[in-house]
Structure formats: structure tokens, C-alpha cells
Amino acid sequence: MENMVNKYGELFTEQLEIEASYKKFAEELLKNTYAESKLEGKTAETALGKRLMNHQFDTVFENVKVFVETTLQPKPGVKPAYIGILQQLADIYEGKERDLYTLLTMATFSVLLNSVFRKETRLSNLAQTVAAEVQTEARMEAFLKANPEIAASVLRGISERVSKHYKTYYAYRRMEHANFSWNPWSLKDSTLFGAKLIELVIQGSGYFELYDHTDMNGKAVTEIHPTQWLLNTWAKNEEKLIAKAYRMCPTVVPPAPWTTFKDGGYYGELKSYCTFLRLHDFSVPNVFTKEYMARLNQLDLSNVQAAINAIQETPWIINKKVLKVAKAVIARGGELAGIPRMEPLPELPRLTGDYTDEELKAHKQKAVERIRLEARRKSKAIRAIGHIKVAERFSKYESIYFPCNMDFRGRVYPIPSFSFQGDDLNKALLLFADAPACSSYKDIEWLMVHGANLAGVDKVSFDDRVAWVRDHEAQILDCAKDPMGNLWWADQDSPFQFLAFCFEWQAWREHEAKFGTPEGFKCGIPVAFDGTCSGLQHFSAILRDPVGGKAVNLLPADKPQDIYGMVAEVVNEQLKKDSVSGTPDTTAEGKNGEPYTKYGTKTLAQQWLAYGVNRKVTKRSVMTLAYGSKEFGFRDQILEDTIEPAILEGRGGMFANPNQSAGYMAKLIWNAVRKVVVKAVEGMEWLQQMARLVCKEGQVVTWMTPMGLPVQQSYMVCNSEVYRMRFSGIDKRFYSVNITGDIDKRAQAQGIAPNFIHSMDAAHLQLTVIMAKEAGINHFSMIHDSYGAPVAQADRMFKTVREAFIKMYSENNVLEQFKADMEMLIEKGDKIPAIPSKGTLDLNVVRESLYTFH
């Protein structure tokens, strides 16, 4: 620490103060959250509230169980007034008794915790509230039991609504439409029932006590107060939780280099909150995680550490010009260049006069959509304002840095949320500090290519991108001169990053006018070279697949190949055939016994042709193929990305049955992409077969990356069941995990393809950084399959990323190495499947391919 003070002086002291201030801010934020939860009656929903309920849950649960079973046993004498309620509940939850006991325990516990901290303590009122909570949940359970065919739809509708009020209103309307009747419990019976449940919680928890007194009117009143033990325990644990709160920040001195699993990143109060690897799946200790950690500590990870250290040592500076414009956009109310409007969306006007059921239904749909859009707007607005606040705070420093670490596969992530891997605004607010000076017009051409990329002109040749910038230079310079007057920049693909380019282009023209040469021009914009459908690139290289390799730009070409467009073309060919000679519509019987139209491929093809299938429709499915996504996953993606937005925007009227349309398109894309990248599918399936064999032997899948990082899939079975109160949102998780761990065989097999390929692209990135560092590059903006360097060194990075790719796969037969790792875990007698055969692709052609990374 003394050496750091000597090296950086007051700046290091300031770094320690910044860490302390971020820690303090997080503590205050959590402290305020707990204070608000008490005022709003939501203490049971907090982490501490859930812990306290869990602490005595089993005892109270057992009390409730005995009470219910004993009370319902036939016996002579006077029966309690609430026996009818209890019998009704027993009938509703027949066969699901644990759910009933859980509901009674949770409802009572949560009402008491929420109320006593809010100073709402009268016993009679709390008893009625407890009973009302139980009745609401039980009524829904009875409704779902009576209408199983619509249960999934109803539960989805409830979960999509945020507030308890809207959840309840929606549920009651569904009940009304289904003609479901329910006789409300009497006030007397429900009060006595709720009081009995409160008694059980008091007896079993020790958290609450009764307090009898006389009110101002001389009336005897019984209240429920928290015990001193509860108050002390809450205060002590709240203090402990607040003390553990933290928020990560950029640094103003180079981050501490990573030397061990725990040593690196920060220097002061944030140091203990980050590790070299993010091992969230290792939170439950078992023999596998212990063995992995022991192995990790024995291996030489110096190459991996060197790569991460080089990335986090990159100096950055806040782009003050972009910051000024972003603040101006906020000041004018937002709704520009990706920044949402700052004011809430206008409320939907109420329906007036006579209206039909259909009009009411449409109005409610609009109301629900308005709630969703408002939540999205608010989230984006908070994020944008947060970015600007961080940028303002760090704008006074000559250089700032972003401590980094890795996930379990080796993928690099900055630790602060504000970083060079953020959204468009976040990236635009950052420039390389101390960027090297340009030396030739080739450097300027790379700046032009980057500018065109940011405008979305990235599917044409480099020459065409350079020409595009020349053709639009007047607009580019005008935007730089008056960004709030000429908003053309705001319409580009990455608006704020494009604006940052406009400013740099203006600076270049001023430099050229003054000096007449690129020499000496310093530009802090990172020029990024992005992979093309990275997962498929890696599979194609691993299996030397010339067909797949061509589709993802591993082979030289005059312009970038568009695999998403290629798949769309194959799909459109099939659509045209099906629209003429596809299968006819038929009538089928639904789960509820009602007939429905099962559309044939002829109708479905005509619907999709009316909509129009392009690369945008196929992109996500093709992109996720290499990461294990299959036909069923494609279906969900198409629904989410294409059909549902089209319907909401009034462009999806042709989709008479969205699920059928999505399923049909998923099948077409699946068949098309298998024709284009055959080897990738073979590689995925082989990895999954190997994973299943390993799991059969009671082992987890573990392998070594070409950079020497061990990767372990710690997917273990967590024998858990969750009971959730549907309207309050409070849940109780019942689980047990064996100390040795039960392997989640399904997750191991499903996860291997994406995790293996991600570990390969991570190794490639790390090797690229090491080789780039040796080549004199000291500034890195790396995002998984995107390789950014200063303008002056863009050409060097362009070559280095290719050389690293060739080197890694020429010197490492990664599937053979994976097989060797697995053979140590697989029983000798098991038949190990043959590795998919390799094709004829010569990796050296990647060196000549302009668009492998572009």
C-alpha cells in the first residue's frame, strides 16, 4: 500500500476514498430500502424478512399441521366457528396438504411481520387481514382446480401483472368470465380463524407477543407487538446486511493486477468483494467444487491473468462532448437516440359511455401494455441517468480504469456496471486515454470503416464503407458542429457512438487542415472488429468445415457473407413451395374439448410471405444454434422477437394463431440452418453425447482451454420445491442438497455446447490480447467476440486477431483434448463416440479473409 502511495501520491488516496464512498452509497441505499419496506408494510418481502420467516418456519408449520389435522378429526363437543372454513380449505387442497400448511404459515407470518413494523398492531384487524390473504389464495386454487384447461393462461396473466391490486382484479375477472362462484367467509368466522393462526405463529416463533390495554374510549383492546428479541435480532441482522452492501466503481489508478484467485482489482473497501473468477454456481459446496478449487490454486494461470490484467490496465477518459449532448437530450425530456422520455407515459383515458365487451377487452390490453412500456421506460431512464452521473463524477480525471474478472468459462467482464461493455450511450461516453498517434491514411480509413459500422453500414465491403463516409461527410461534420440542431446522428444504428465518431471526424479534418498529414493525429475511439456469428465460426474452424466457414466469413470474399440472410433465402424458397402445395387446414379438438383450426403449411406459409421473412427474422435463431438452441427454442425466440411485437404494433394481423406460426417458422429455420452449417450441429451433438457419458459415471464435465484455464460445469440438482403466494409474491423454497451433490445430468448435457464454445472464444480473446501486447498494443476494448483497439493500431489488431485464431486452432486439436479430458472420467467399457470428421478448410485462409472479424 505504501508503494502505491509513493507511486501515485494523492491520486491513490483519492482511489481509496472513491471505493469508500461507493461502499457507503450502497449501504445507505440498502438502509433506505429497509426503512421504506417498513413504512410500506413490505418487510416480509425483504431478504431479512424471508430469513426470519425461514428461521422458525418449520416449527410454526408443524403447529399449523397439527392444528388442522386435530381440528378436522371427528369428535364430540362444540366445534369452533371456523370449522367450515377449515373443511373447505381441506377439500380444496386435498392431495396438496403441504401447500395448505405452507399457505397458512406464510400468510400469517408475512402479515404479522409487515404490520408490526408499520405500527398496525390491533389483533382483530390483523386476524381479518390474515384470513383475507388465505381466502384470496384459496379461492384462486379452487378456481384453477375447477378449470384446469385455462390454469396456465390464468397463472401467466397473474405473473405478468405487477401490483397486487391488478393481479387480484385480473383473477376475479377471469373467474367472472368462467362463471365461477365463491361464497365469501363471514367476518366473524374469518376473524376467529385468523386469530387462531396468529396464536400458532406467536407460540411457534417467539417473534410476537400480545399486549392488552384500554383505548381512549375505555374499550379493551388487544394488540400484537414485536418481542424485544425480534427487534434486537432485526436491528443486528439489518446492520450486518448493510455492512455487506457494496457497489463497484471505475478506478483512477491502474487496478491491482490479478496474482491469485482473491488478489486483484481493487485496493480498499471493495477489494474483498471480487474474485478472479465469478463462480456463482459454486455457492453450494460439494466434492466437485472442492476438487476444482484445489486444482485451480495449483495451476499456473499466469497467461490468463496477464490477458485480464492488460485489459483492465487500459486507460480511459470520459468523452465530455458526448456527455454534454447526452445531458442536453435529458434536459429536453429524452425520447431521442435511445434515451427514453423522462416523464411517465400518459395515462390511458377511461372508457366512457356505452361500450362493448370487445372494446373493454381491447382497452384492458392497452392498459396492460402501457404498464409494461412504462416499466421499461423507467428502467431505461434510470440506467441512462446513472451512466451520465458516473460520467460526470469521473470526467475530471485524466485517466480511469475498469477492473475486470472472468466467468467460469474464461469470458472477460468489467466489474463495474458502467464500462466499455455497456450500452450505446455507455460506450460513447468513453474514449481511450493517451491514445497513440496515427501514422498513415490507412489508420484514417479504419476510422471511416468504424463510422460506417456504427451507422449500420456493415454488410458491404470496406471500400463501400469508406465511400459511405465520404458521401455523408457534410452531414457528419454538421452533426459534430451542432448535434442538437442536426439530429441525423440520432437515427443511426448506434446513435451516441456514431456521434462520438462525428466529433472525432471533425477533429481529424481540423488536424489535416493544419498539418496536411495523418501523422500525429490522436483518436481515442476504439475501432472494433467483430466476429460473424462467433459460435459457428469456432465450430467451423474446429471441424475445418469449408461450407460453414464460408457462411461465417472464414474464407476470403469480396464482401461479408450474411449467414442470417442465407438462411432466410432457404426459408423463403420453402415458403413459396408450401404456399402452393402445402398441407391443408384441419379441425382438431383442444384440451378443453373445443374445436379449433389447425392450420396447414399452405396457410402458414402464406401468412409468413405476407409478413415477409428477412435476416432479422432468422438472426437470433441462427446466432444461438451454436450455443445449444434447437427447434423448440427457436419457436420461443420467434414468438418473442417477431410475432408478438408485430401484433402489438398492428403489423401482425396475418398471424391467426401465433403459436402455430412460430412453430412452423422454427421448423423451417432449423431445417435451413442444418443445411448451411452441418458440421456445427455434428459438433454440438458429439459434445452432448460425451457429457452424458461423463454424467453416467457420476462425474461433472471438466475440461482445459487452450490458455490453460480449467472449466467445470457445476450444475447440481437442487432438490427444491417452491410454494408461492400468487398475489403477494412471497414464496417459500423447500430444498435439500447432498454434501456430495447430485449431478444435474440434463443441465450438464444442455450446457456443454454453449459453455465449450464460449470457453473457446474466451481463450481466443485472451490469446489475442497476449499477442497484441507483444505487438505493442496497450489499449483494449474487448467484448467476447469483439476486439477493439485505438485507430492508430487498428490495422495491427486486424491482423493479430486472425493470427491468434489460426494459432489457437492450428496448435490445439480442442476436441481431441476434450476427449482426452473426458476419457479420464468415463468407464473403460463405455463406447466413446468418434469425433466428427474434419473437412478440408485450410485455416491459413483466415489470414486473407477480410471479413472474418470486421
Say how far apart CA 593 and CA 586 lie, in whole Å.
16
Write down the catalytic residue from 38, 42, 785, 819.
785
Residues 6+ apart with CB under 8 A from 264: 255, 256, 257, 258, 274, 276, 305, 309, 403, 405
Phi, psi of 416 (to 5 degrees): -70, 150
Q: Are strands 404-407 and 277-278 parallel, antiparallel or unpaired?
A: parallel
Instruction: Tell me whether residue 785 is one of the annotated catalytic residues.
Output: yes
Q: Are strands 710-712 and 702-704 parallel, antiparallel or unpaired?
A: antiparallel
β-pair partners for 528: 788
Reading the block at residue 541, the C-alpha cell is 474452424
Say how far apart CA 339 and CA 429 lie, in whole Å.
14
Say how far apart CA 714 and CA 74 lie, in whole Å.
51
Helices (H), strands (E): how many in the chain?
A: 32, 18
Write down the catalytic residue from 619, 679, 732, 819.
619
- What DSSP letter does each residue of 163-189 carry, written as one string? SHHHHHHHHHHHHHHTT----PPPHHH
Reading the block at residue 835, the C-alpha cell is 469425433
Angle at 348 between CA 345 and CA 352, to 5 degrees: 165
Reading the block at residue 829, the C-alpha cell is 467399457
* Beta carbons of 127 and 194 less than 8 angstroms apart: yes
Say how far apart CA 557 and CA 540 lie, in whole Å.
16
Instruction: Tell me whether residue 491 is one of the annotated catalytic residues.
Output: no
Write down the catalytic residue from 281, 530, 742, 795.
530
Say how far apart CA 197 and CA 60 lie, in whole Å.
10
Instruction: Tell me whether residue 619 is one of the annotated catalytic residues.
Output: yes
* Beta carbons of 296 and 408 less than 8 angstroms apart: no
* Beta carbons of 428 and 325 less than 8 angstroms apart: no
Strand residue runs (E) in 477-560: 526-530
Which strands make up the sheet holding 786-790, listed edge to edge? 526-530, 786-790, 781-782
Q: Is 675 buried (19+), middle (13-18) or exposed (0-12) by CB count in 10 A?
A: exposed
Strand residue runs (E) in 291-429: 316-318, 404-407, 412-414
Reading the block at residue 311, the C-alpha cell is 485489459
- Other CB atoms within a 10 A radius of the CB of residue 829 amount to 5
* Beta carbons of 185 and 174 less than 8 angstroms apart: no
Amino acid at 13: T
* Residues labelled as active-site residues: 530, 619, 785
